[in-house]
């Protein structure tokens, strides 16, 4: 995708603060971090979202989230990590090239990765189970 900024960053056409790189991925520091060390895992091949990602690469991406996340948490003054991945505008996606956020967390920080719990109604439960033939 010639006009995709994350394609250009992932493939080194635009410089970035790179923590890690291999044949399939580049891991960079987010320019608008929610916390110190907030990083992004970017595949080098364009996929707009999780649905377009080859499944074997999704497995590699999650393994990378474990490896890089562990290094971040051990190396920074923090004790937690959010692994966040947004798909679609309504889910907060703003750059339409698949990426995984690694957000180091500390107790009482203000990173704010949270939601207000609702209630699982019987109607909703049955509707979703039906999608899976249950």
Catalytic amino acids? 99
- Which DSSP string corresponds to 14-56? S---EEEE-SSEEEEE-SS-SSTT-EEEEESS--SSGGGS-HH
CA dihedral for 70, 77, 29, 15, sign (positive or negative): negative
Site for Zn ion in 39-68 (CB under 5 A): 46
The nearer residue to ligand AMP, 15 or 133, going by C-beta atoms, is 15
Q: What is the DSSP letter of 118?
A: -
Tell me if 111 contacts Zn ion by CB under 5 A: no
| Site string (91-120) toward ligand AMP, x via CB under 6 A | -xxxx-------------------------
Residues interacting with Zn ion, by CB under 5 A?
1, 4, 6-7, 46, 97
């Amino acid at each position: 995708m010639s006009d995709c900024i994350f394609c250009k960053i992932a493939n080194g056409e635009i410089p970035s603060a790179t923590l890690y790189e291999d044949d399939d991925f580049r891991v960079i520091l987010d320019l608008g971090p929610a916390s110190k060390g907030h990083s992004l895992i970017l595949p080098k091949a364009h996929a707009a979202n999780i649905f377009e990602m080859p499944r074997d690469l999704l497995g590699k991406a999650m393994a990378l989230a474990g490896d890089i996340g562990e290094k971040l948490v051990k190396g920074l003054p923090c004790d937690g990590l959010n692994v966040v991945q947004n798909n679609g505008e309504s889910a907060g996606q703003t750059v339409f090239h698949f990426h995984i956020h690694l957000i180091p967390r500390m107790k009482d920080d203000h990173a704010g990765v949270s939601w207000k719990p609702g209630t699982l109604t019987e109607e909703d439960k049955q509707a979703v189970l039906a999608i899976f033939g249950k």
